[in-house]
Structure 1
Amino acid sequence: MTDVAVEKMSFETAMAELDQVVGKLERGDVALEDSITLYERGAKLKAHCEAKLKDAEEKVEKISVGGDGQATATTPVEGL
């Protein structure tokens, strides 16, 4: 686990740390106080990852191509 602010992490870094947090909590060999701290950190990491994914989804667009081969419109891709 790092001391880096969650808001400054890349998606990949946050996911890796979240994986570590989950692993520690699943083992159950962490003191109660530490478990609470880990859980809170994990919740922040999860929310950060979800926000990063949502942002990425909004940037992905479906491009419609007209009969002349030119892009005519872009619309957000749904279902990602």
Structure 2
Amino acid sequence: MAKSTEKKVDELSFEDAMEQLEVIVEKLEQGDVPLEEAISMFQDGMQLSKDCHNKLTSVEKQMDQILHADGELEETDFQEEEE
């Protein structure tokens, strides 16, 4: 992601960020990346992961607002509902 041709992390769509994260994970799993490059890739991957998490959290909040037609906001913990 250090390449100047790539978008900044916060400008990427969720799908693009996930795709870049998958590429980073695949390269790191191969194990033939020099240490300094691996550290940089890991940092980029962590930033992509954080960005994806933030985008998902934002969408969850938007869905909460949409699902409550009466206009009242009611917090929903999606993790509790999955159990």
TM-score by shorter chain over 0.5: yes
Larger of the two Rg values belongs to structure: 1
The structure that is helix-richer by fraction is 2
The AA in structure 2 aligned to 1:57 is E
Q: Tell me, which stretches of 5 or more residues in structure 1 are unaligned?
A: 65-70
Please give the per-residue CA displacement for 1:3-57, whole angstroms capped at 9, x wherever unaligned. 2110100100000000000000111010101101100100110000000000000
Higher RCO structure (Cα 8 Å, ≥6 apart): 2
Residues 72 and 4 of structure 1, relative CA distance in 2, 3 Å threshold:
closer
- Across the two proteins, how many residue pairs are aligned to each other? 74
User: Structure 1 length normalisation: TM-score?
Assistant: 0.79
User: Structure 2 length normalisation: TM-score?
Assistant: 0.76
The AA in structure 1 aligned to 2:11 is K
Look up the match of 2:15.
Answer: 12
- Rounded to whole Å, the distance in 2 between the matches of 1:63 and 1:54 is 17
Q: Does 1:22 align with 2:15?
A: no
Deviation at 1:58, TM superposition (A): 0.4
Give the alignment partner of residue 31 of structure 1, picking from 26, 34, 37: 34
Look up the match of 1:63.
Answer: 68
Structure 1 outlier segments of 4+, above 4 Å: 71-74
Q: Tell me, which stretches of 5 or more residues in structure 2 are unaligned?
A: none
